[in-house]
């Protein structure tokens, strides 16, 4: 809906200006307070990105540390950066791959390395939305019929194929296929419902915002 | 909705062979909520275990240690002079070239090589100090100012949050610029007062002597462009943060700059404004014991009075009693009915 998008864009534009101001303070005055604000704003998003790639709590924290130290070190070159969030995202991602490459065989961990798969985490707002929806999905999975839940969890957690899952549960692959379909359908329905509720909430927020503008 | 699509999503997520890619794409492109639903599934499948939470404080501490350490390292290089002699000559040549380039092509010189001095006054404390160029600054309570220990070659810049009175040493080569919120005040040499309290909607620049330029920065969504006005002595500029407009007016000297000589000025102030002012001025903490019974506006000047005297006089006009315990003051309003009985 047009007006609904409008307000989000407004908020985003204002936020981008805020970020520029913070960067300016850091670059010109070595402002540690502004740097802390920058950290507060972005650490959680970048941590989620790093953790998703590298699947280790400790490593992800080290990467966040490195990324912010780098941000501090390059503070006289901020004006070369077009979009600061894209920059943060890219630096974080690259750092994950560097770290992974530098590992000895002993500590080898599996990483999610399909870059295309991460395209929905490029902005902090999106990432927070998916984190929120993730907990909704977990809730929704909890409500699935027992048989359906068993099949869904087995496949998601072990990554086994329909055929292997069928063997393990001694049912036909067709049963697995139909149980998976039911699971996805029910969960998708719940997410859709939740999103619609959120949209209404946003619209109400917008209405009260316009009333606020009107009164002032 | 087609039953098939759930089958396709399930297969795409689990890596099963032959999901109908083109049908999935078609469905995804139908609307934004389809995309959101599918992406939330992908996010969910990527996080088998519960998402951990970053230990924020620990990580920030480590970052902070590293960036502080980094600064010390730069300063600690101490080698015998002669080792540097050859290099200095070369560096000087290059540096002169650079400075020339920067000055000619880049108006805003970003620098962070020199030390930044930060002066912070807590509530209840004022201070006066002199900058390296001879400028004198009187900083009000609950205010903060930042400046480099050595100014740039071609300008003098400081950042202010709160209120300060400036007596700027005249230097036509190096304008003196005060950044406060969205407002930039530029002078060559004069005395003026700036009030830029973060929680207040207005930023005020008042000129006592000389000439001052006040500019609003063109960096908000609603501003109609950059605004700049010039002030003469006894003129005050008021910038409204929500309307992004600068207005010019005249002012009474004591009302604006009285604070620097110890005069607490209340002008048409209501109780909440008075409360904030007293808290900042005396560094006290004021609470209300009951809800207010009397509304009223106060106009008064107090010359270096202790807080007890100020409270006494207010208590009479605004009908309240107060008790004071160290820095904590509790105000109880008199009930007019009870009083009558």
pLDDT per residue as tens digits for the range A65-115: 999 999 998 888 888 888 888 889 988 988 888 777 665 443 444 544 444
pLDDT score of B221 = 39
Nearest CA in chain A to B179: A25
Q: What is the pLDDT of residues B45-102, one digit of tens each?
A: 887 667 788 888 899 999 988 887 555 433 333 334 444 444 444 444 444 434 443 4
The average confidence (pLDDT) of chain B is 77
Query: Which residue from B16, B45, B219 is facing A162, i.e. has the nearest CB?
Result: B16
Question: What pLDDT was estimated at residue A86?
Answer: 87
The partner residue sitting opposite A192, judged by closest CB among B33, B52, B64, is B33
pLDDT at residue B127 tops 80: yes
Determine how many CB atoms are found less than 10 A away from the CB of residue A39.
20
Return the pLDDT at B199.
77
* B321 DSSP β-pair partners: B332
- Rounded-to-integer distance, Cα A160 and Cα B322, Å: 74
Q: Taking 70 as the threshold, does the pLDDT of residue B226 lie above it?
A: no
* Dist CA B311 CA A119 (whole Å): 62
Q: How many residues are there in chain A?
A: 216
Predicted local confidence at residue B93, as pLDDT:
44
pLDDT band at A40 (very low <50, low <70, confident <90, very high): very high
Subunit contact A134:B43, Cβ cutoff 8 A:
yes
Confidence band for B222, pLDDT divided at 50, 70 and 90: very low
Higher pLDDT, A39 or B216: A39
Is A5 within 8 Å of chain B by CB?
A: no
**Rounded CA separation A91/A73 (Å):** 13
Task: Answer yes or no: do B15 and A161 touch at CB < 8 A.
Answer: yes
Q: Which residues partner with A93 through β-bridges?
A: none
- To 10 degrees, what angle do helices A57-73 and A32-54 make? 140
Q: Under an 8 A CB cutoff, do B14 and A21 touch?
A: no
Q: Which residue of A has its CA nearest to B55?
A: A61
Q: Closest partner residue to A137 among B33, B44, B66, by Cβ?
A: B44
Closest by alpha carbon to B197, among B144, B242, B247? Answer: B144
Q: Give the per-residue pLDDT at B104.
A: 37
Answer whether residue A64 shows pLDDT above 50: yes
Interface test with A, best of B3, B7, B10 (most A CBs within 10 A): B10
Per-residue pLDDT tens over the stretch B171-210 = 878 889 999 888 888 887 788 888 888 878 888 898 888 8
Q: Which one of B13, B43, B112 has the shortest CB-CB distance to A30? A: B112
| Per-residue model confidence (pLDDT) at position A12 | 59
CB atoms within 10 A of CB B164: 28
Instruction: Work out the burial of residue B14: count CB atoms within 10 Å of its CB; fewer than 13 is exposed, 13-18 middle, 19 or more buried.
Output: buried
Phi, psi of B108 (to 5 degrees): -90, 105
Instruction: Report how many Cβ contacts below 8 Å link chain A to chain B.
Output: 146
Q: Which pLDDT score, from 0 to 100, does residue B83 have?
A: 43
Determine how many CB atoms are found less than 10 A away from the CB of residue B158. Answer: 23
A29: distance to nearest CA of chain B, Å? 6
| pLDDT given for residue A11 in this prediction | 56
Q: Count of H helices and E strands in chain A?
A: 8, 0
Core vs surface per residue A177-202: b (16+ CB within 10 A) or e: bebbbbbbbbbbebbeebbeeeeeee
B179 with B157: CB under 8 angstroms? yes
Nearest CA in chain B to A35: B64
- pLDDT computed for residue B38 by the predictor: 92
CA distances from A140 to A133, A191, B104 (A): 10, 8, 63
Binning pLDDT at 50, 70 and 90, where does residue A177 land?
very high
Cβ contacts (< 8 Å) between A23 and chain B: which residues?
A: none
- The dihedrals phi and psi of B287, each to the nearest 5 degrees, come to -125, 155
What pLDDT shows up at residue A157? Answer: 85
Instruction: Say if residue B3's pLDDT is above 80.
Output: no
Least confident among A109-118, A152-161, B47-56, B141-150: A109-118
Task: Indicate yes or no: CB of B58 within 8 angstroms of CB of A133.
Answer: no
Interchain CB contact of A137 with B (< 8 Å):
yes
Supply B185's token pair: 């005040």
In angstroms, the separation between the Cα of residue B43 and the nearest Cα of chain A is 7
Q: Does the beta-carbon distance from B219 to A60 stay under 8 Å?
A: no
- Look up residue A211 and give its two tokens: 């009333």
- With a CB cutoff of 8 Å and minimum separation 6, the contacts of B132 are B149, B150, B151
Hey, are the CB atoms on A44 and B54 less than 8 Å from each other?
A: yes
Q: Which residues of B fall within a CB distance of 8 Å from A164?
A: none
The verdict on A60 touching B (C-beta cutoff 8 Å) is: yes
Given a cut of 90, whether residue A118 has pLDDT beyond it is no
Kindly tell me if the per-residue pLDDT of A62 is higher than 90. yes
Mean pLDDT of B18-35: 87
Instruction: Please answer whether residues B336 and B293 qualify as being in contact, where contact means their C-beta atoms are separated by less than 8 angstroms.
Output: yes
Flag the least confident range among B43-52, B104-113, B149-158, B206-215: B104-113
> Considering only CB atoms, which chain A residues are within 8 Å of B6?
181-182, 184-185, 188
Set of chain A residues whose Cβ sits within 8 Å of the Cβ of B37: 188, 191-192, 195
Share of chain B above pLDDT 90, in %: 8
Do the beta carbons of residue A151 and residue A169 sit within 8 Å?
Answer: yes
| Mean predicted confidence (pLDDT) in A196-216 | 68
Average pLDDT over residues B17-35: 86
DSSP assignment letter at B118: E
CB contact under 8 A, A195 and B33: yes
Residues of chain B in contact with residue A177, where contact means CB-CB under 8 angstroms, are 7, 10
Q: Identify the pLDDT of residue A146.
A: 93
Nearest to B54 among A43, A133, A155 (CB): A43
Do B146 and A28 make contact, defined as CB atoms within 8 angstroms?
no
Residue B14 and residue A155 in contact, taking contact as beta carbons nearer than 8 Å: yes
> How do B328-333 and B285-288 pair as beta strands?
parallel
Q: How far is A14 from chain B (nearest CA, A)?
A: 7
Q: Which of B13, B43, B59 sits opposite A120 (nearest CB)?
A: B43
Q: Rounded to an integer, what distance in angstroms lies between the CA atom of residue A104 and that of residue A143?
A: 43
Q: Is B246 helix (H, G, I), strand (E, B) or coil?
A: strand
ipTM of the complex: 0.80
Q: How confident is the model at residue A208 (pLDDT cuts 50, 70, 90)?
A: low
More confident residue, B334 or A115: B334
Cβ distance of B63 and A39 shorter than 8 Å: yes
Instruction: Kindly report the average pLDDT of chain A as a whole number.
Output: 81
């Amino acid at each position: 809906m047009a007006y609904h998008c409008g307000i989000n864009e407004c908020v985003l534009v204002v936020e981008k200006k805020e970020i520029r101001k913070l960067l300016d303070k850091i670059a010109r005055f070595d402002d540690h307070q502004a740097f802390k604000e920058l950290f507060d704003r972005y650490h959680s998003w970048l941590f989620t990105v790093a953790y998703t790639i590298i699947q280790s709590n400790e490593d992800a924290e080290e990467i966040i540390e490195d990324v912010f130290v780098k941000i501090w070190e390059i503070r006289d070159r901020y004006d070369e950066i077009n979009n600061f969030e894209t920059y943060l995202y890219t630096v974080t991602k690259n750092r994950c791959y560097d770290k992974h490459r530098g590992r000895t065989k002993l500590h080898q961990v599996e990483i999610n390395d399909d870059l295309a798969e991460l395209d929905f985490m490029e902005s902090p707002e999106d990432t927070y939305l998916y984190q929120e929806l993730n907990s909704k999905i977990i809730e929704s999975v909890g409500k699935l019929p027992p048989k359906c839940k068993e099949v869904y969890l087995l496949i998601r957690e072990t990554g086994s194929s329909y055929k292997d899952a069928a063997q393990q549960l001694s049912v036909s692959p067709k049963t697995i296929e139909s149980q998976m379909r039911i699971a996805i359908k029910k969960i998708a329905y719940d997410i859709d419902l939740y999103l619609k509720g959120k949209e209404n909430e946003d619209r109400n927020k917008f209405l009260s915002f316009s009333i606020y503008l009107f009164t002032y | 909705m087609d039953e098939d699509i759930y089958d396709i999503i399930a297969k795409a997520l689990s890596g099963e062979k032959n999901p109908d890619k083109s049908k999935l794409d078609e469905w995804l492109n139908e609307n934004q909520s389809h995309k959101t639903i599918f992406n939330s599934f992908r996010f969910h499948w990527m996080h088998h275990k519960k998402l951990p939470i970053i230990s924020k404080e620990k990580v920030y501490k480590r970052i902070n240690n590293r960036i502080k350490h980094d600064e010390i390292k730069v300063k600690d290089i101490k080698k015998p002079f002669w080792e540097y002699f050859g290099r200095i000559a070369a560096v000087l040549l290059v540096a002169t070239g650079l400075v020339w380039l920067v000055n000619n092509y880049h108006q805003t010189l970003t620098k962070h090589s020199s030390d930044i001095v930060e002066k912070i006054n807590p509530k209840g404390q004022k201070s006066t100090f002199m900058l390296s160029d001879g400028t004198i600054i009187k900083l009000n309570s609950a205010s903060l100012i930042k400046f480099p220990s050595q100014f740039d070659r071609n300008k003098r810049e400081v950042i202010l949050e709160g209120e300060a009175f400036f007596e700027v040493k005249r230097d036509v080569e190096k304008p003196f610029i005060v950044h406060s919120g969205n407002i930039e005040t530029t002078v060559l040499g004069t005395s003026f007062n700036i009030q830029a309290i973060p929680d207040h909607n207005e930023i005020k620049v008042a000129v006592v002597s000389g000439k001052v330029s006040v500019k609003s920065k063109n960096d908000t969504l609603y501003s109609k462009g950059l605004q700049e006005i010039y002030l003469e002595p006894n003129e005050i500029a008021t910038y409204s943060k929500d309307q992004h407009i600068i207005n010019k007016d005249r002012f009474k000297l004591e009302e604006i700059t009285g604070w620097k000589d110890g005069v607490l000025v209340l002008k048409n102030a209501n109780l909440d404004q008075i409360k904030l002012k007293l808290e900042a001025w005396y560094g006290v903490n004021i609470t209300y014991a009951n809800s207010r019974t009397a509304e009223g506006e106060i106009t008064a000047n107090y010359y270096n009075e202790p807080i007890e005297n100020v409270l006494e006089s207010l208590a009479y006009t605004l009908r309240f009693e107060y008790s004071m315990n160290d820095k904590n003051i509790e105000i109880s309003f008199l009930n007019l009915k009870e009083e009558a009985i």
